[in-house]
Amino acid sequence: MRKGTVPMPSHRQPTDNATTGPRPGVDDAEAALVEHYPRLVRLAYLTLPPTLGRHRRVLTAHATVQHVLPGARKGDQKARVPGQRTPSGSAFAWLRGQVLRAALTHEQPTPWWRVRAVRPRTGLPLVVGLRLFPRADGTDELALDQALSTVNAPARAALALRVLEGLSEQAVRALLEDAGVADPAAAVRTAERLAAHRDGRAGKLLATAEFDPCTVQTRPTDLLRRRQRSRIAGATVAIALAATVLAVSLPGDGSPERSVAGVRAEGSLYGPAGTAALARALDPALLERAPEDAWADTSRIDFSVWPARGGRTDDTALLKRALRVWGGPGPAVRVSATPGTGTAPPTQPPRLLYAGDLDGAAVVLLHDGQRIVRYAEPESGPLPDSVKREGPAPETVKREGPAPETVKREGPAPGGGTPSLDFARADQADLTTAAALAVSRTPDGARYLLAPWIAGSATRDLLAPDAPARGLDVSAEGVTDAVPAPASGGDCVAWPVMALRSSERIVERHSFLVTDLGDPAPAHLTYTPPPGDGAPARGPREATAEPALLSWARTACALRTLRGSGVRAVNNWVFAEQPLPESGGRAAWVCTRADTWRGPGRILVQFQRPASVPTAPGTVVAEAGNTASCGRFGQHILAGTRWKSPSGKWFLLAAGSRDVTRIEAVGSVRANASATTLAVRAPREGSVRLSARLTGGGGLRAVG
């Protein structure tokens, strides 16, 4: 079995059919649909675009399956005699093909005049007054759901057909091609990559309740908005009836402007439909507050279990100002957002994380499930009129979309300045990425509010790997002393980081490092050691041991280029080690990958030659953005550079990750090596193209 292939579950009947088969009779199709209904609905749900939202995806998945039954045709009655019945497997294969074709059309651009012909009717089932969504599971399922949202519908469908239906690659390609997919092979390749999620457990994860649209939870819709719409509808009907009666009973001027003006005047008493929901979300009395020990009794460790802390959590006036500014910041408020973060008002009451006075400013931290919002105002002195006014400005109710990304992320000046509003993404946070939030920034450094599960804190310098960590004082409210920020310019002589340790009530002796990259949440630093001889592939681990600290000592200063870009975590992967020619010592090839909160990653490949100074930076040989390389879904890499030996000769060096079996160079140098590294004499200049072969037979080109 090829690597990444997930076998078909044993409880499924074999359905590896490359075609959808003949059109079955109505009774045969209905019997197959009822028997395999959960499988078909799950296939439709996984294929439909995540942009529909979970409620609409659930309903659309059920409607898609329910509307693929064939219509009755002449001769179906005769076809229902026992000797003429279509085998149930063939009927199911036909239905599966129809469901696949219908679900794929929801993400394909279709002209409006062809929508009805191409896309099936999905009017029923219809749910009024309730929101339906699958039950939430653990962090692994959430991570897989996020990965699925980054690929297209054919890839999601191919993954479902491979790991849930157990079809072969050939059968999946045939089904996708029959459904009108332009590049089925690419979809299958992407599905194979996704199948390796969480060490190949994607099949087991897709079978959980997180992706089961037949096992759902219910919640009410916005009750205030629903009530308001009912009132508006009732008032509109009453006014329309009154206008009709007046038009019939009163002679004379029958101008339509008179009745329309009356409807507009009456409707203006209620305002837009979204105003009530917005007012509810901006009500400080409705702010969510987690219990003090909620973090110790849940399997979901993130910002949703932070209790409200600070000396002004009961200051209604401050909380009201913070929420009002979020709902509609005036021109005097400085607004900033990390890339990919929206600045729209909340749609429901957010969670209060902190409210207090720090370094001459009143600070409020809020969390709406997707974003961290930091409001800060001068602790003393006058406030702008736009902050003091009651209620959001009328035009801000309609404001939506992200703020310009060019705004600098600098907080208010201590003891003065204008109010500020900072937005940052925080979805999919976990024990390490939700461990701290910057609550105040001064010339002395940043002060952090630590997560309630942090039991120990210290600081250390990445450029001094042999120096011990120093203790970091934390107040009773969970706020640290100032931690010096890494210098953004000039000489890179120090790189302070926080060393945090989680409570044993969550995990025993778990320590990790985070660093300030200018965003509200510090970035989590990890380390992947070089591949061992015959050992299985190694995953990222905490950057606390000596090899990790030595690696980061030579890489830390490269983190400068990541400031303010919304980085969630950075991993240093030593993907190869290479003995240098002429007894030049042993060099390391390191790929530094930065993952952002919004998904795309950025990599930097360094060649680290032997050095007498432990902090000597490596040579950057390649970099790339918006790539999966050096991550969970891009585990193969190849890179090269030129190197001058102690005798003054020039060599072409290249190295690949553990699955590389052969490296080839063409151009000004023609050479090959059946190994993970290559070293040949080469001119100092000249174009060279590097490629490699992998264990599974695939090819690989050098990054950059």
Per-residue pLDDT tens digits for 653-662? 999 999 999 9
pLDDT in tens, 542-594: 999 999 999 999 999 999 999 989 999 999 999 999 999 999 999 999 999 99
Res 392: pLDDT: 39
**Any idea which of 29-43, 111-125, 594-608, 613-627 has the lowest mean pLDDT?**
111-125
- Could you tell me what percent of the chain has a pLDDT over 70? 76
**Any idea which of 107-111, 306-310, 387-391, 695-699 has the lowest mean pLDDT?**
387-391
Res 409: pLDDT: 35
pLDDT band, residue 74 (cuts 50/70/90): very low
Paired strand residues for 679:
653
User: Which amino acid makes up residue 630?
Assistant: C
Res 238: pLDDT: 57
Res 57: pLDDT: 87
Is 346 a residue whose pLDDT tops 50? yes
Residues shown for the chain: 704
Q: What is the mean pLDDT of residues 83-100?
A: 72
Is 20 a residue whose pLDDT tops 50? yes
Res 619: pLDDT: 92
Average pLDDT of the chain to the nearest whole number: 80
Res 211: pLDDT: 84
Q: 615 vs 395, which has greater pLDDT?
A: 615
Is 241 a residue whose pLDDT tops 70? no
348, two tokens: 């429901």
From CA 226, how far away is CA 240, in angstroms rounded?
A: 21
CB crowding 658-686: b at 16 or more within 10 Å, else e = bbbeebbbeeebebebeebbbbeebeeee
Q: Dihedral (C-alpha) 275, 277, 281, 282: value to the nearest 10 degrees? A: 20
Q: What is the mean pLDDT of residues 288-305?
A: 91
Q: What is the mean pLDDT of residues 618-644?
A: 92
Q: What is the mean pLDDT of residues 308-332?
A: 93
Q: Which residues, 6 or more positions from 475, have their beta carbon under 8 angstroms from its beta carbon?
A: none
Q: What is the mean pLDDT of residues 678-692?
A: 94
From CA 142, how far away is CA 634, in angstroms rounded?
A: 19
**Any idea which of 53-57, 218-222, 262-266, 440-444 has the lowest mean pLDDT?**
262-266
Q: What is the mean pLDDT of residues 63-92?
A: 60
Res 534: pLDDT: 58
pLDDT in tens, 257-277: 222 223 223 333 233 445 778
Which H or E run contains 391?
Answer: none
Closest CA to 503 of 330, 305, 686: 305
> Can you tell me whether residue 689 is helix, strand or coil?
strand
Most confident of 466-470, 504-508, 598-602: 466-470
The Cα angle at residue 377 between residues 372 and 378, in degrees rounded to 5: 150
From CA 150, how far away is CA 147, in angstroms rounded?
A: 5
> Can you tell me whether residue 558 is helix, strand or coil?
helix
**Cβ atoms 370, 358 nearer than 8 A:** no
Is 87 a residue whose pLDDT tops 60? no
pTM above 0.75, yes or no: no
Is 647 a residue whose pLDDT tops 60? yes
pLDDT band, residue 108 (cuts 50/70/90): low
Q: What is the mean pLDDT of residues 388-416?
A: 37
Q: What is the mean pLDDT of residues 473-479?
A: 96
Q: Which residues, 6 or more positions from 310, have their beta carbon under 8 angstroms from its beta carbon?
A: 354, 355, 356, 363, 477
Is 282 a residue whose pLDDT tops 90? yes
Res 229: pLDDT: 55
Q: What is the mean pLDDT of residues 629-651?
A: 93
| Furthest-apart CA atoms within the chain: distance in Å | 109
**Any idea which of 158-162, 508-512, 677-681 has the lowest mean pLDDT?**
508-512
Res 8: pLDDT: 35
Is 40 a residue whose pLDDT tops 80? yes
Is 110 a residue whose pLDDT tops 50? no
From CA 555, how far away is CA 572, in angstroms rounded?
A: 8
pLDDT in tens, 416-453: 468 999 999 999 899 999 999 999 998 889 999 999 99
